[in-house]
Amino acid sequence: MNILSRLKSWEGFLATALIVIIVANTMLSPQFLTFSNQINLFQLSIEKIIVALVMTLIIINGEIDLSVGSMMGLAACSFGFLFANGVPAGLACMIVMVIGVIGGALNGYFIARVGLPSLVVTLATLIGFRGLARVLVEDRGITDFPDWFDALGQQGLIGQLPLSIILFFLLFGLFYVVLQRSGFGRKTYLIGNNRDVADFAGIDTARHKMVLFVASGAISALAGLLFAARVGAVRGDVASGFELDIITMVLLGGVSIFGGSGSLWGTLLAVLIVLNLRNGMALLNITGHIQTGVIGVLLIASVIAPRINLGGLLAAVTRSEGKGT
Amino acid sequence: MKSTKTLGLLAALMMSGASLANAQTALEGGQEADMVLLPKFLGILVFDQANEGAQEAHAELGNPGELLFVGPTPENSVAGQIEIMTTAATQGQGAVMLSNNAGDQIAPSAVAAQEAGTRVVTWDSPIPGGEGEDVFVAQVDFGSIGTVMADMAHSILGGEGQMAVLSATPDAANQNAWIASMQEALKGDKYANIELVDIVYGDDQAEVSYNRALSLVDQYPDLGVIMSPTTVGIQASAKAMQDEGLCDQVKVSGLGLPSEMVSYTMNGCAPEFALWDFRDLGYLTYYTAYGLATGQLTGDIGESFSAGRMGDFAIEEDPGRPGSKRILMGPFTVYTSENVEAAAQ
């Protein structure tokens, strides 16, 4: 495979864009390549990018989970509520993970067993989980968690690498094997392409979707705990709106919103692009509105680009160049 | 050149003595410090005004460094503030001036910024636990607001008459505290002939507040003043009275923005209202942060300094947040037809 044909794939395009962004950041900001900035770059969005991994599988499977941000909030607030009521932090973490599994199973039940559209079900739980989170902590912030809990979110676990970044790469490895190297992964693509065919082929599609939504609930709960540890406090609005950023990253990674195509590499590249772009713009003191606008343009481009046949365009350019010489 | 140096040394000596004797530190301009003004989010008039005040102080002090006004978008306020705080530390900014919207969630990043040598001064809204914060520049003493509102009612009513309160929502903690402090103030002899007849809630929505104001007038024919301690409520009430031609009978007062209230003040519907000046708040915050970032202030309790046109201020313990420090800007600015037009510019 030569360089040009690699470029033609969406992943190739993303990789090129990422390199351009990193080079530009390095040239424009002396602080960009420092180790602590690179850690911060991941840390500031770490919970979102962890959830983006499982969201990739959900969307490839032809579904969507809008409730992830609210589940993160519910997890963080449940932790705060339990802790404030005297439950030891370690036990509270375990209870929160169970809440994540139950929340995910609730989504899964209505989507996979009852057969309701995931857009509707998870929109309902987006509101429901958030409401529950707000009821739990009311209009106050809960803080003063144990030192070990805050330290896990804020300090390095191995050297300067914090737990959450290590978890992200471990989970990336795990999901990579599951999605791209296992039967489960192949079924995920097949169901996303055509559920009826998958059903006829004897795949238990309902069970498959159930597993994915439970995983989504559990990973979101984990991300909510990581958020609580990183900021050392929780409030009813924790992680609200995160679902849109997460879905944006996955779609930018070339995962089709209609299911059936995309890859975890694409998501990783998109995550790195968004993180580096945001960090670079922040270091250049570009304000929030413009940052959001730039990410928005990127997403629009990612939706349009496959339709204008980037590969064909590139090929046409090379052909005409070939004629010229 | 030499004499200025000697003078500076002398000033430094006086300063070290001064902190013991509790005298004023005169802040010396011209020293370089990069500053970041970080509002709750962008697109709100009062934050733009605070920025104007900070820019004024920045120019006045001749700081060769940069003053940045960067903020998150409203829907990304909490995560955005944390991100900007973290970036400021990475960039090695001299000080971040924060109107906190993230509660205690900002604390770890603020602590990290302090550890990186960036001073953190809050204004408008502090870090609740005080962690990661050098000092809070408080616009007013929240307890004093009751007296200010009682006095405005007294002056509008000529010492005698009926008053009703139009608040935001029933569970807004600051509103309830302010109303309670006004009820406390009304117990004084001076206000013996002022009767508080009702407290209603307009949910901080213009239309609801508008209708509540009109039903108050229907309900209490002798009502003399509607007191609304919210910028939404006061504007809606004034508009309601103006639209119905009731301004001769019922006046409106409370907390409002000069730019939104100027026409009602000039036509007599809302002859007096109060608010703190956000330009002043930005100006004083800048002076404080500049003093800290250039090492001219240490940020200890008892330290005092002069902040340009606004005069002298002292760092004290925050009565509302034990263990934290504040600088009290106060008092309120009361706006009348005399000064409202200038403030509305």
Domain holding B195, by residue range, is: 142-275
Same domain, B262 and B292: no
pLDDT of B312 higher than 90: yes
Q: Which of B233, B257, B275 is the last residue of a domain?
A: B275
Lowest mean pLDDT among A96-100, B179-183, B331-335: B331-335
Per-residue pLDDT at A141 = 81
Task: Say what the pTM is.
Answer: 0.80
Per-residue pLDDT at B7 = 46
Whether B341 is in a domain gets the answer no
Same domain, B198 and B130: no
Same domain, B67 and B102: yes
Q: Measured at the alpha carbon of residue B94, what is the angle toward residues A281 and A39, in degrees to the nearest 5?
A: 45
Contact list, A150 vs chain B (CB under 8 Å)? 108
Whether A272 is in a domain gets the answer yes
- When CB atoms are compared, the residue of A37, A285, A292 closest to B73 is A292
pLDDT of B165 higher than 50: yes
Contact (CB<8Å) A44/B82: yes
Per-residue pLDDT at A88 = 96
User: Taking all residues of chain B, what is their mean pLDDT, rounded to a whole number?
Assistant: 88
Whether A2 is in a domain gets the answer no
Separation CA B43–CA B240 (nearest Å): 27
Same domain, B257 and B299: no
Lowest mean pLDDT among A86-95, A177-186, B17-26, B148-157: B17-26
Separation CA B25–CA B141 (nearest Å): 23
Whether A1 is in a domain gets the answer no
Per-residue pLDDT at A306 = 64
A189-199 pLDDT tens trace: 999 999 999 99
Domain count, chain A: 1
On whether any CB of chain B is under 8 Å from the CB of A150, the answer is yes
Contact (CB<8Å) A288/B41: yes
pLDDT of B239 higher than 60: yes
Separation CA B287–CA B308 (nearest Å): 8
On whether any CB of chain B is under 8 Å from the CB of A173, the answer is no
Whether B93 is in a domain gets the answer yes
pLDDT of B51 higher than 50: yes
Same domain, B271 and B323: no
Per-residue pLDDT at A139 = 67
Whether A161 is in a domain gets the answer yes
Task: Give the residue from B83, B118, B174 with the most A CB atoms within 10 Å of its CB, the best one to mutate.
Answer: B83
- Taken as a whole, chain B contains a residue count of 345
Per-residue pLDDT at A325 = 40
Token output for B264: 């009602």
Q: Measured at the alpha carbon of residue A242, what is the angle toward residues A262 and B45, in degrees to the nearest 5?
A: 135
- Per-residue pLDDT band for A74 (boundaries 50, 70, 90) equals very high
Task: Give the residue from B34, B87, B106, B321 with the most A CB atoms within 10 Å of its CB, the best one to mutate.
Answer: B87
Per-residue pLDDT at B14 = 44
pLDDT of A15 higher than 80: yes
When pLDDT is averaged across residues A276-303 and rounded to a whole number, the result is 88
Contact list, B68 vs chain A (CB under 8 Å)? 285
Give the CA distances from residue A202 to residues A113, A116, A199, A205, B210, in Å, rounded to whole numbers and listed in that order.
16, 21, 5, 9, 64
pLDDT of A19 higher than 80: yes
Instruction: Identify the closest residue of chain B to A30 by CA–CA distance.
Output: B91
Identify the burial level of B4 via C-beta atoms within 10 angstroms of its C-beta, where 0-12 means exposed, 13-18 middle and 19 or more buried: exposed
- Higher-pLDDT residue of B42, B108: B108
Per-residue pLDDT at A95 = 98
To the nearest whole angstrom, how far is the Cα of B27 from the nearest Cα of chain A?
A: 28
Instruction: Identify the closest residue of chain B to A292 by CA–CA distance.
Output: B73
Domain count, chain B: 2
pLDDT of B3 higher than 50: no
Whether A18 is in a domain gets the answer yes
Token output for B295: 């090492």
Residue bearing tokens 């052909």 = A319
A 10 A CB-CB count for A151 gives 16
| B95 contacts B294 by C-beta, under 8 angstroms | no
Per-residue pLDDT at B44 = 76
Whether A320 is in a domain gets the answer no
Task: Give the residue from B34, B38, B44, B104 with the most A CB atoms within 10 Å of its CB, the best one to mutate.
Answer: B104
Per-residue pLDDT at B5 = 44
Whether A324 is in a domain gets the answer no
Contact (CB<8Å) A237/B78: yes
When pLDDT is averaged across residues A265-294 and rounded to a whole number, the result is 92
Residue A83: alpha-carbon gap to chain centroid: 27
Reported ipTM: the value is 0.84
Separation CA A51–CA A242 (nearest Å): 10
Q: What values do phi and psi take at A22, rounded to 5?
A: -65, -40
Domain holding A87, by residue range, is: 7-314
- Per-residue pLDDT band for B198 (boundaries 50, 70, 90) equals very high
Whether B103 is in a domain gets the answer yes
User: Taking all residues of chain A, what is their mean pLDDT, rounded to a whole number?
Assistant: 90
A189-231 pLDDT tens trace: 999 999 999 999 999 999 999 999 999 999 999 999 999 999 9
A134-145 pLDDT tens trace: 999 876 788 899
Residue A196: alpha-carbon gap to chain centroid: 28
Contact (CB<8Å) B108/A34: no
Residue B110: which CATH number? 3.40.50.2300
Same domain, B22 and B87: yes
Lowest mean pLDDT among A127-131, B40-44, B89-93, B257-261: B40-44
Residue A183: which CATH number? 1.10.3470
On whether any CB of chain B is under 8 Å from the CB of A155, the answer is no
Whether A129 is in a domain gets the answer yes
Same domain, B101 and B218: no
When pLDDT is averaged across residues B131-146 and rounded to a whole number, the result is 88
| B224 contacts B157 by C-beta, under 8 angstroms | yes
Token output for A155: 């300090």
Per-residue pLDDT at B15 = 44
Three-state SS string over B24-53 comes to EEECCCCCCCCEEEECCCCCCHHHHHHHHH
Q: What values do phi and psi take at B62, rounded to 5?
A: 60, 40
Contact (CB<8Å) A283/B91: yes
Contact list, A243 vs chain B (CB under 8 Å)? none
Same domain, B34 and B127: yes
Q: Which of B259, B275, B291 is the last residue of a domain?
A: B275
To the nearest whole angstrom, how far is the Cα of A153 from the nearest Cα of chain B?
A: 10
On whether any CB of chain B is under 8 Å from the CB of A293, the answer is no
Contact (CB<8Å) B70/A283: no
To the nearest whole angstrom, how far is the Cα of A85 from the nearest Cα of chain B?
A: 19
pLDDT of A1 higher than 50: no
Contact list, B83 vs chain A (CB under 8 Å)? 44, 278, 282
Per-residue pLDDT at B145 = 85
Contact list, B78 vs chain A (CB under 8 Å)? 235, 237-238
Percent of chain B whose predicted confidence (pLDDT) is above 90:
66
Same domain, B133 and B244: no
- Per-residue pLDDT band for B330 (boundaries 50, 70, 90) equals confident
To the nearest whole angstrom, how far is the Cα of B331 from the nearest Cα of chain A?
A: 28
Whether B345 is in a domain gets the answer no
When pLDDT is averaged across residues B312-319 and rounded to a whole number, the result is 92
pLDDT of B11 higher than 60: no
Lowest mean pLDDT among A22-36, A311-325, B229-243, B288-302: A311-325
Whether B22 is in a domain gets the answer yes
Separation CA B278–CA B282 (nearest Å): 6
Give the CA distances from residue B150 to residues B154, B182, B195, B269, B340, in Å, rounded to whole numbers and listed in that order.
6, 6, 11, 18, 20
Same domain, B242 and B313: no
C-alpha dihedral sign at A220, A226, A227, A229: positive
When pLDDT is averaged across residues B216-235 and rounded to a whole number, the result is 94
Same domain, B164 and B253: yes
pLDDT of B200 higher than 70: yes
- Per-residue pLDDT band for A73 (boundaries 50, 70, 90) equals very high
On whether any CB of chain B is under 8 Å from the CB of A294, the answer is no
Per-residue pLDDT at A169 = 96
Same domain, B166 and B91: no
Instruction: Identify the closest residue of chain A to B116 by CA–CA distance.
Output: A36
Most confident of A49-53, B126-130, B271-275: A49-53
